[in-house]
């Protein structure tokens, strides 16, 4: 890709993310999400491979639908309440539509179908952006609207995401697909706690982004995209392979590694909220991905 074009797309990505996370008006937040989507599309399809083009098309259609739903929910809310403020989302129907729209943007079950396919068709660095930076604006919107969201719907989506993320990742040989299902599983942990303690969701997201960045950058150095390639890397670069192993175990949430900390805090918070059954279920389901 042309360096000037790459620079423009990178600046647009940063701009779109910044606009969404710093806006207080729904239309501004929507505009930021749209800029983000349009900036990442050329990065997904830059190899001109049929699989990359397919991934870009799937990504565009899903994100365009989700953005339209975000705009529709905010317009419905403005129609009933006269407010365009993001924190004033009070109409129940608007809350339900927004939750569905953001679940679609993030790739929560039952709107997860696009994410593994798109990640598999993208280069590793673009995959890293899709797993971390592109998830940040929708999570920020969830964070800002968290007091008015429907906790039952989010809990159901979260438990399904954790179950499906662990279960579908079991029979994969492609590393990017395994990481995509790992991301769906982590989003489940973030979604279950957002209405009770939004700051824990952000902590979980930051640590997830850090560990995923480690894994993707290590894989990019090794040039590995299949599990069979990964098995032979130990002889070539032992230190990097050891780091990658630890990062993967941390991502799976194995104590005493860093990835266990947010899960521990979330289980603690759920128990305080008298949701011991949900806490037990999500803990057992996350053993699948481990």
Round to whole Å and give the CA distance between 248 and 214. 9
Give yes or no: residues 81 and 25 share one domain. yes
Query: Would 156 be classed as within a structural domain?
Result: no
Tens digit of pLDDT for each residue in 169-198? 888 889 999 999 999 999 999 999 999 999
Query: Would 154 be classed as within a structural domain?
Result: no
Query: Would 265 be classed as within a structural domain?
Result: yes
Distance of CA 288 to the CA centre of its chain: 19
Give yes or no: residues 166 and 131 share one domain. no
Q: How confident is the model at residue 234 (pLDDT cuts 50, 70, 90)?
A: confident
Total domains, the chain: 2
Q: Enumerate long-range contacts of 152-157, CB under 8 Å, 24 or more apart.
A: 153/96, 153/99, 154/99, 154/191, 154/192, 154/194, 154/195, 155/191, 155/192, 155/275, 155/278, 157/99, 157/103, 157/108, 157/109, 157/110, 157/188, 157/191
Tens digit of pLDDT for each residue in 130-174? 999 999 999 999 999 999 999 999 999 999 999 999 899 888 889
Work out the percent of the chain whose per-residue pLDDT is above 70.
100
Give yes or no: residues 113 and 168 share one domain. no
Query: Would 114 be classed as within a structural domain?
Result: yes
Q: What are residue 85's DSSP bridge partners? A: 25
Task: Please identify, among 149, 174, 207, the residue that sits at the C-terminal boundary of a domain.
Answer: 149
Q: What residue has token string 């949900």?
A: 278
Answer whether 0.75 is exceeded by the pTM.
Answer: yes
Round to whole Å and give the CA distance between 30 and 18. 12
Task: Please identify, among 149, 180, 208, the residue that sits at the C-terminal boundary of a domain.
Answer: 149
Q: How confident is the model at residue 47 (pLDDT cuts 50, 70, 90)?
A: confident
Give yes or no: residues 22 and 81 share one domain. yes
Query: Would 111 be classed as within a structural domain?
Result: yes
Query: Would 13 be classed as within a structural domain?
Result: yes
Give yes or no: residues 4 and 141 share one domain. yes
Round to whole Å and give the CA distance between 268 and 273. 9
Look up the domain containing 1 and give its range. Answer: 1-149
Report the chain's C-alpha Rg in angstroms.
19
Give yes or no: residues 142 and 175 share one domain. no
Give the per-residue pLDDT at 48: 86
Kindly tell me if the per-residue pLDDT of 13 is higher than 80.
yes
The Cβ of residue 268 has, within 10 Å, a number of other Cβ atoms equal to: 12
Give yes or no: residues 25 and 116 share one domain. yes
Round to whole Å and give the CA distance between 167 and 162. 8
């Amino acid at each position: 890709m042309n360096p000037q074009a790459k620079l423009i797309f990178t600046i647009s990505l940063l701009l779109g993310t910044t606009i969404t996370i710093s806006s207080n008006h729904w239309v501004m937040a929507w505009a930021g999400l749209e800029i983000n989507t349009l900036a990442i599309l050329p990065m997904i399809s830059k190899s001109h491979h049929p699989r990359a083009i397919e991934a870009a098309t799937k990504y565009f259609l899903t994100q365009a639908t989700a953005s339209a739903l975000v705009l529709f929910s905010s317009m419905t809310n403005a129609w009933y309440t006269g407010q365009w403020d993001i924190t004033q989302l009070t109409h129940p129907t608007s809350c339900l539509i927004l939750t569905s729209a953001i679940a679609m943007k993030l790739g929560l079950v039952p709107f997860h179908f696009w994410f593994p396919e798109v990640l598999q068709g993208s280069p590793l660095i673009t995959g890293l952006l899709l797993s971390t930076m592109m998830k940040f604006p929708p999570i920020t919107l969830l964070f800002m609207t968290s007091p008015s969201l429907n906790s039952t719907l989010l809990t159901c989506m979260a438990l399904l995401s954790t179950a499906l993320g662990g279960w579908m990742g079991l029979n994969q040989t492609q590393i990017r697909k395994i990481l995509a299902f790992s991301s769906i599983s982590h989003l489940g942990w973030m979604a279950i706690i957002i209405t009770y303690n939004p700051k824990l969701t952000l902590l979980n997201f930051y640590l997830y982004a850090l560990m995923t960045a480690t894994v993707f950058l290590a894989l990019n150095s090794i040039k590995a995209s299949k599990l069979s390639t990964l098995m032979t890397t130990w002889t070539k670069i032992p230190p990097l392979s050891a780091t990658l192993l630890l990062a993967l175990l941390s991502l799976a949430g194995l104590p005493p590694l860093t990835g266990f900390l947010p899960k521990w805090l979330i289980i603690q918070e759920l128990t305080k909220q008298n949701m011991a059954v949900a806490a037990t279920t999500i803990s057992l389901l996350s053993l699948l991905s481990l």
